[in-house]
């Protein structure tokens, strides 16, 4: 970086390695593409092998090193093995985007214990499981950037999403705790809270609620900026946190939702 670098230079991820969970679809895939365009090598992490391999091909076409690692982020043994495999393959880990998520649109009377556990484990516990294996590598390297995907429903409640609201509220405050614990090791930890984004997850919610999909999507667009979010809107915020553009930012919760929460 020169004395008066241009914004494009500060945003560059040349030489960096990014691990992205939920990378086979939606927000994770869009972020993998954007970070790759900024020069990062990409380790794609997902439980869906078919979509994961396709995503790997798409990222390779952008001219960077990319590899898909099948992994259930709710499993500690998977997280440990995947971190070891990524480190062996890429030699370093600079960026960790904890983004994999699932939702079950039910209140607590309707939620089975299995559903509660699934939603809490994939959205929240996985951040603990994967980060605890990745952070020692970042400490050895002198730092890194971790970005967690929260949600507007990590900051306010929502109907028929009790486990999801609990998990995402946890993600928001876990982000702050991690930022405090690891700041002195040069590791920044931040959270992006998306509003409704047009991904398979949101379409699945309409199905879970038994609502008309077109109607559901129209309602999702009803916010100050008058449109539904695109995965790229979220990827842009993740690039900010991943790059030196946010070098004095940690423990920060960024709402990216077209003004919905306002």
Ligand X SMILES: NC(=O)c1ccc[n+]([C@@H]2O[C@H](COP(=O)([O-])OP(=O)(O)OC[C@H]3O[C@@H](n4cnc5c(N)ncnc54)[C@H](O)[C@@H]3O)[C@@H](O)[C@H]2O)c1
101 belongs to the binding site for ligand X (CB under 6 A): yes
Buried b (16+ CB within 10 A) or exposed e, 11-40: bbbeebbbbbbbbbbbbbbbbbbbbbebeb
Query: Active site includes 164?
Result: yes
Range 135-154, binding ligand X (CB under 6 A):
149, 151
For the CB of residue 203, give the shortest distance to ligand X in the complex, in Å: 9
- The window from 46-54, 61-69, 109-117, 240-248 that contacts ligand X (CB under 6 A) reads 46-54
Size of site (CB under 6 A) for ligand X: 30
Range 169-228, binding ligand X (CB under 6 A):
194, 196-197, 199-202
For the CB of residue 28, give the shortest distance to ligand X in the complex, in Å: 6
**Candidate list 18, 35, 42, 47; residue touching ligand X; CB under 6 A:** 47
Minimum CB distance to ligand X smaller for 11 or for 102: 102
For the CB of residue 3, give the shortest distance to ligand X in the complex, in Å: 38
Minimum CB distance to ligand X smaller for 12 or for 28: 28
Among residues 87, 128, 164, 240, which one is catalytic?
164
27 belongs to the binding site for ligand X (CB under 6 A): yes
Residues 52-91: x where in contact with ligand X by CB under 6 A, - otherwise, as a string: -------------------xxxx-----------------
What are the distances in angstroms from CA 93 to CA 46, 58, 192?
Answer: 17, 21, 20
Range 3-22, binding ligand X (CB under 6 A):
21-22
For the CB of residue 84, give the shortest distance to ligand X in the complex, in Å: 17
Binding site for ligand X (CB under 6 A): 21-22, 24-28, 46-48, 51, 71-74, 99-102, 122-123, 149, 151, 194, 196-197, 199-202
- Catalytic residue ranges: 164
């Amino acid at each position: 970086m020169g004395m008066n670098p241009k914004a494009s230079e500060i945003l560059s991820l040349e030489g960096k390695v990014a691990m992205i969970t939920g990378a086979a679809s939606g927000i994770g895939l869009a972020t993998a593409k954007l970070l790759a365009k900024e020069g990062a090598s990409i380790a794609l992490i997902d439980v869906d092998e078919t979509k994961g391999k396709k995503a790997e091909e798409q990222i390779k076409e952008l001219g960077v090193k990319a590899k898909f690692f099948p992994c259930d982020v709710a499993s500690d043994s998977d997280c440990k093995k995947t971190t070891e495999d990524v480190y062996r393959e890429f030699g370093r880990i600079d960026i960790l985007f904890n983004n994999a998520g699932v939702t079950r649109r039910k209140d607590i009377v309707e939620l089975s214990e299995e559903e509660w556990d699934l939603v809490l484990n994939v959205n929240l516990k996985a951040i603990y499981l994967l980060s605890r294996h990745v952070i020692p590598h970042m400490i050895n390297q002198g730092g890194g950037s971790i970005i967690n995907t929260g949600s507007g429903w990590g900051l306010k409640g929502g109907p028929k999403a009790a486990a999801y609201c609990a998990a995402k509220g946890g993600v928001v405050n876990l982000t702050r705790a991690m930022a405090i614990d690891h700041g002195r090791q040069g590791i920044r930890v931040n959270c992006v809270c998306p509003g409704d984004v047009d991904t398979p997850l949101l379409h699945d919610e309409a199905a879970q609620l038994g609502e008309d999909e077109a109607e559901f999507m129209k309602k999702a667009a009803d916010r100050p900026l008058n449109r539904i979010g695109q995965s790229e809107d979220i990827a842009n915020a993740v690039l900010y946190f991943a790059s030196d553009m946010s070098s004095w930012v940690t423990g920060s919760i960024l709402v990216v939702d077209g003004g919905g929460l306002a």
